[in-house]
Amino acid sequence: MPPTKDIDITPDAGRENLGRLAAALRDLGATLRAPGLTEGVVIPLDERTFDRMTTMTFFTGAGPFDVSLRPDGTEGYPDLVRAAVRVEFHGRPVPVAALEDIIRSKNAAGRPKDQATLPELERYAEEQATRAARLAAQAYPEAIDAALGEGTSPGDVAERPGPTLGREPDGERGQRRGPNR
């Protein structure tokens, strides 16, 4: 996936949390990015800053920083945190929106720049889903065999490495093919 050029956050919209966000933005020297201007606009930053806006973009000492209380196609933080992946950042777990939620939001936004990235994001999501399915097939062959039902042969299931699914000719289940058999 191509690297991003800014950070996008969707914070919990509680007053206390927005106050902490405003303080962090002040610490970063944040100024409001405005269309057509090359320099940011100085605005007061406190928990009330976000009362009238759902999306704000800032210049900071750490680079561009976008705040979206309710990204397109979502219900905001409570919606996104449900499937978020926890990533360690400076020793603390940080929730990061699931790729499927990012794709959903970019689809809903419909902006040309978002539409341009969708094919690559969708391809990456498909690769991740395929990898997860293969790992599951390797780790839990009996459960998958049971879910597929009796009489399922390995050729009936999508191509996968590792354990076979279905009944083997000798009546054993979940045996690996190859020289170690």
Share of the chain above pLDDT 70, in %: 80
pLDDT number for residue 171: 43
Condensed to tens digits (0 to 9), the pLDDT of residues 104-124 reads 999 999 999 889 989 999 999
Q: Would you kindly state where each structural domain of the chain is located, as residue ranges?
A: 7-69
Condensed to tens digits (0 to 9), the pLDDT of residues 26-40 reads 999 999 999 999 899
d(CA 68, CA 57): 8
pLDDT number for residue 169: 42
- One DSSP character per residue, 53-69 reads -SEEEEE-TTS-EEEES
Torsion angle in degrees (nearest 10) through CA of 165, 171, 173, 174: -70
Condensed to tens digits (0 to 9), the pLDDT of residues 38-81 reads 899 999 999 899 988 889 999 999 899 999 999 999 999 999 99
Mean pLDDT of the chain: 82
Q: Which tokens in the block code for residue 1?
A: 């996936």
